[in-house]
Amino acid sequence: MSNTTAPAAAATIGYARVSTVSQSLDQQADALTAAGVPADKVFSDKLSGSAGTERPGLAQALAYAREGDTLIVTGVDRLGRSTAEVMATIADLLARGIVVRALREGVDSSTATGRAVFGIMASLAELELELGKERRAASRDARKARGQSVGRPAALTAAKSAQLVRMARAGEPVAALAETFGVSRATAYRLVKAADDAEAGAA
């Protein structure tokens, strides 16, 4: 009789995240279970605050996943609060032999095409970060040349602030919205948190 222990079967797990505590995880959870994730293997986070906010759900998913397992997300942006964070998480998963599937993008790292796409996405993410640095540097230089202040950007109007909050609640990454609206990440997160706090106080 053999004492050899059979290897554990590969698991399929899912991760869902929303950017504010007022958003619902139901839609993402439903999509994950429809894609084959057992309901008790869906890890999740509801986040509000700075980019450094702890993500216990993601931490649990990453700790649970083993080589050969598959991690499914509704979109690659669910894996981080910034492009760099997303790609670092994906790189870690792939290095550990964990398959990554993104439903919205239709990307699956178990295929050669999927791995190539993730590689291209990583390259584009690095390029975008570099271009962003160059744009900010050029903007600062232009303001200096005109004798303008190079301090923090002007605050958003009430209408723009409300638009940023609506987009964040719709699932757009707050870090990306900060870039889009031309404010610091701290300002963008502060606006979203203030809106959440106001709603909680009115409830």
Q: Which amino acid is at 98?
A: I
Question: 76, 102 in Cβ contact below 8 A?
Answer: yes
Phi, psi dihedral angles at 35 (to 5 degrees)? -85, 0
- Active site residue: 2, 19, 123, 161, which one? 19
Q: Does residue 161 carry a catalytic annotation?
A: no
Task: Return the C-alpha torsion angle 158, 162, 165, 171, nearest 10.
Answer: -150
Would you state the structure tokens that stand for residue 141, as one six-digit string?
A: 């230089």
DSSP-derived secondary structure for 108-167: ETTSHHHHHHHHHHHHHHHHHHHHHHHHHHHHHHHHHHTT---SSPPPPPHHHHHHHHHH
Look-up: residue for tokens 């303008």?
A: 148
Active site residues: 19
